[in-house]
Amino acid sequence: MLTLGIETSCDETALAVYDPNKGIVAEAVYSQIDLHAIYGGVVPELASRDHCQKILPLFESNILNTININDIKLIAYTAGPGLGGALLIGESFAQGLAAALNIPVIGVNHLEGHLQAPFLGKNKVQFPLLTLLVSGGHSMIIDVEGIGKYNILGESRDDAVGEAFDKVAKLLNLRYPGGPEIEKLAKNGIKGTHKFPIPLSDKDTYDMSFSGLKTSVLYALQDMSEPTDQDKADIALAFQDSATEALAVKVRKAMIKTKRKLLVCTGGVAANTVLRSKLIAISKEAEADILFPELKHCTDNAAMIAYTGYLRRDLASQSYKSLVRSRWPLKMLTEIHG
């Protein structure tokens, strides 16, 4: 039984096919990064139009060259959260194809997709576990007791950490998406040149905050008449240290409290190597295992959507009504699904 996964919630047009016996057997991602780079962020209308133009050719050339269309027995697509227009392109494609093939569809929550991404290709998942979900839209610490059992311990009160990386990158005149650019630039930075605050680190909460940190970077830049490349690298390093430490402080606290023996980190920011090493150190302190998705499955992809749709297949249906929701918090996960 093959499950086709479709992801169009933001600026990646992604398709993948999951086979429960073999794992991911076909996968394609078309990134719109170049289209949006000059605007310093994703332009929703351009994203929808581009998904519309790319999705069918991507399916024909990169998926149907590997599998037989009639072997697809379920279609899983991202129904939210994300950009409304962009999500509707994925849904229309999913439902049109499902109707033609006379098979069910399932609308998958993008965040649940990120939560499941680290387990792709793994045999048995050891619940309960603690997950740090860090992306362009979310920063959350979640106590996971099983599939669908997500207890959110803390989240960002303002910007998501990935969003902060993107905004600071813009201040430094770096390309979008900012995370990888800041990580690269920070390698040339001199430690200790700047010290930014570690937001909410001394507060008795698992919540996080990143907008003040971004403002501190802005003030540091305003103090310099013309920042040199070295100045920018020093700022990138200090920002990355504070942002990752702000996450690490809360994860350490949550690991001590919950005593979980598996720590998982997922989402686009999970690609950051400084964050990874801090989390590895925390897992050692807690005598816990640690798991990250493969690098290509940290950022948005359809493999995680196909896999999550397969896990949730009991909720699939052939009613083909629209399930798209630009806002779909994890805590309301049970509300829609088909």
Cα separations (Å) of 328 from 93, 103, 109, 190? 21, 25, 7, 41
By CB under 6 A, the count of residues binding ligand KG4 is 20
DSSP 282-321: HHHHTT-EEE---GGGTSS-SHHHHHHHHHTGGG-BS---
Residue with smaller CB distance to ligand KG4, 244 or 283: 244
Of 23-31, 97-105, 129-137, 147-155, which segment contacts ligand KG4 by CB under 6 A?
129-137
- Give the residue with the Cβ less far from Zn ion, 129 or 304: 304
CA distance 198 to 213: 8
Question: What CA–CA distances, in Å, run from 138 to 33, 218, 269, 281?
Answer: 19, 22, 10, 23
Q: How many CB atoms lie within 10 A of CB 112?
A: 23
Binding of ligand KG4 at residue 309 (CB under 6 A)?
no
Strand, helix or coil for residue 208:
strand
Q: Which of Zn ion, ligand KG4, none binds 179 (CB below 5-8 Å, type-dependent)?
A: ligand KG4
Determine if 104 is a binding residue for ligand KG4 (CB under 6 A). Answer: no
Judged by beta carbon distances under 5 to 8 A according to partner kind, the member of Zn ion, ligand KG4, none in contact with residue 162 is: ligand KG4
Sheet with 289-291, strands from edge to edge, namely 149-155, 139-146, 129-134, 262-266, 289-291
Q: Considering only residues 183, 199, 233, 254, which one is a binding residue for ligand KG4 as defined by CB under 6 A?
A: 183
Bridge partners, residue 14, by sequence: 7, 29
* Binding-site member from 5, 90, 154, 179 for ligand KG4 (CB under 6 A): 179
Task: Please report whether residue 300 would count as binding Zn ion according to CB under 5 A.
Answer: yes
137 touches ligand KG4 by CB under 6 A: yes
Whether the CB-CB separation of 311 and 92 falls below 8 Å is answered with: no
- Cβ closest to Zn ion, residue 32 vs residue 135: 135
Q: According to the binding rule CB under 6 A, does residue 269 interact with ligand KG4?
A: yes
* Residue choice 107, 267, 293, 309 for contact with ligand KG4 (CB under 6 A): 267
Q: Which does 4 bind (CB under 5 to 8 A by kind): ligand KG4, Zn ion, none?
A: none
Give me the residues that bind ligand KG4 (CB under 6 A), please: 10, 135-137, 162-163, 165-166, 177-180, 183, 267-269, 271-272, 299-300
